[in-house]
Amino acid sequence: MATNDVLAVHGGTPLQGRIRVRGAKNLVSKAMVAALLGDAPSRLFDVPRIRDVEVVRGLLELHGVRVSDGGEDGELVFDPANVERASTDEINVHAGSSRIPILFCGPLLHRLGHAFIPDLGGCHIGPRPIDFHLQALREFGAVVEKTPEGLHLTAPNGLRGTKFELPYPSVGATEQVLLTAVMAEGVTELRNAAVEPEIVDLICILQKMGAIITVHTDRVIEIQGVPRLSGYTHRPIPDRIEAASWAAAALATRGDVEVLGAEQGDMMTFLNVFRSVGGAYEITDPRAPRAGHPGQEGGIRFWHPGGELKATALETDVHPGFMTDWQQPLVVALTQARGLSIVHETVYEQRLGYTEALNKMGATIQVYRDCLGGTPCRFGRRNFNHSAVIAGPSKLHAADLVIPDLRAGFSHLIAALAAEGTSRVYGVDLINRGYEDFEAKLAALGAHVERP
Ligand code: EPZ
């Protein structure tokens, strides 16, 4: 961690104002990989300036894709005319920096017949294996060789469509199958697929490129392989994780924040929980301009309406459930709710470690190995602290905090903003992995923060 990688946060001021979210991190990075499959340039709008985008851009450029800025702020153009093999040493510069490189497998096998994937990075929120990815790739006919430097993949007989059922609706493994199946020979049927809005948006992109993909009921996706794909022009769905993070910050600090660009449809489950704990929101729909705000961009305004927040029970789940990435920011607001709130984390086995820091600040959170408040999940009998009981309301006080991962990091930031006194939050640069210009946004919302 660099010595200046710290933020002094003077807490106790409600966040107030308006900020804007751009394209979803967890779609944009995949859309960039999809551009590799085309035989013509692709254009992507609303790309946030975040670390994950830089990593994928670097990997694309190493493989001969020309990436340039388009005419609009946040527009990127990808020209895959000269896709070529990159050296393992150069690729390894990106080792440990993101999980997206694993999604290069299918597109590189189609374009070059070979793929090298460095060690993956990403947040440490559980073991995060890639067994589903590798199993699926082998079903398509890929040969995977694991070496100390990374994974080497080849497809000696090409890639052929297959029938595959995921043991769990993994987002990444579903994307892996989509990005591979679109140009594999024949039909692929994927069962128990993830159907997150980011996946549906990726399907829209692939369809624009010429793919034939049908989403059936009950998590079944059918892909008819095609021999070639062209480029795409796409404006991605907005970042619903970032939007919910700012919503939780508004609630925890008793503030009022309008998140321009946020969309109701992708956030329905979050909005229901937000309202049931006592938060207020208003959809500021651009199609129904409000008096005095003609033609203004729409979004969602989130605020604390006064009085006490109410405890709640929630369980994280795959879409359309409550997203695991919404959990950590919202828990900070739950420390301010009267009564006992229960959170059952069913997506990642180790995503509650950050609650220790909140306890240090005065919260009362107890974690349990049992599946609390919901149906038993995969982690029930496996000794993981994956349920939490939050007793509130608790007065939070300032502390020195070290950010463990991206979403937990944002929750630390919210806690520091809600607490009385000056906290020092170390490792804040990690937040740049997924939140564009977060320091400028904090300033726009009236937060008192500075790099000491
Ligand atoms: C994506 O991760 C997101 N990352 C995560 O966001 C998000 O939390 C997650 O989906 C769930 O919504 C990106 O899109 C870059 P998974 P991904 O495969 O695809 C297990 C953030 O902060 N699993 O759906 O890696 C896995 O261990 C990040 O923005 C296997 O066992 O998630 C986990 O328990 C954090 N084997 C569960 O499935 C596999 O081969 C869900 O993981 C793959 C996954």
Does residue 393 have a cis peptide bond before it, meaning omega lies within 30 degrees of 0? yes
- pLDDT value, residue 3: 67
Q: Cβ(441) to ligand 1 under 6 A?
A: no
- Is 377 annotated as catalytic? no
Same domain as 396, residue 304: yes
pLDDT digits (tens, 9 = 90+) for 47-83: 999 999 999 999 999 999 999 999 999 999 999 999 9
- pLDDT value, residue 128: 83
- Which of helix, strand or coil describes residue 368? strand
Q: Cβ(434) to ligand 1 under 6 A?
A: yes
Q: Is residue 1 part of a domain?
A: no
Q: Is residue 320 part of a domain?
A: yes
Residue of 200, 347, 436 to mutate, ligand 1, most atoms within 8 A of C-beta: 347
Nearest CA-CA partner of 392 in 280, 270, 276, 252: 252
419 Cα–ligand 1 center, Å: 31
Same domain as 92, residue 147: yes
Q: Is residue 313 part of a domain?
A: yes
**pTM, rounded to two decimals:** 0.96
Q: Is residue 219 part of a domain?
A: yes
Q: How far apart are CA 364 and CA 182, in angstroms?
A: 49
Same domain as 169, residue 152: yes
Pick out the residues of the known binding site for phosphoenolpyruvate: 25-26
Which of 181, 215, 234 marks a domain boundary? 234
Same domain as 244, residue 229: no
Token pair, residue 44, equals 């992507």
Question: Exposed (0-12), middle (13-18) or buried (19+): which is 378, by Cβ within 10 Å?
Answer: middle
Which of 202, 234, 266 marks a domain boundary? 234
Of the pLDDT bands very low, low, confident and very high (cuts 50, 70, 90), residue 91 is confident
Nearest CA, atom 1, ligand 1: 171
Same domain as 264, residue 178: no
Same domain as 99, residue 10: no
Ligand 1, residue 378: give the atom nearest the CA: 34
Same domain as 278, residue 203: no
Same domain as 289, residue 150: no
Q: Is residue 333 part of a domain?
A: yes
128 Cα–ligand 1 center, Å: 7
Secondary structure of 241-276 in the HEC alphabet? Answer: HHHHHHHHHHHHCCCEEEEECCCCHHHHHHHHHHHH
Nearest CA-CA partner of 287 in 301, 298, 273: 298
Determine the structural domain holding residue 429 and report its residue range. 6-21+238-450
Domain count of the chain?
Answer: 2
Q: Cβ(348) to ligand 1 under 6 A?
A: yes
Q: Is residue 59 part of a domain?
A: yes
Here the CATH number for the domain that contains residue 320 is: 3.65.10.10
Token pair, residue 230, equals 């062209």
pLDDT digits (tens, 9 = 90+) for 369-411: 999 977 789 998 788 999 999 999 999 999 999 999 999 999 9
- pLDDT value, residue 295: 53
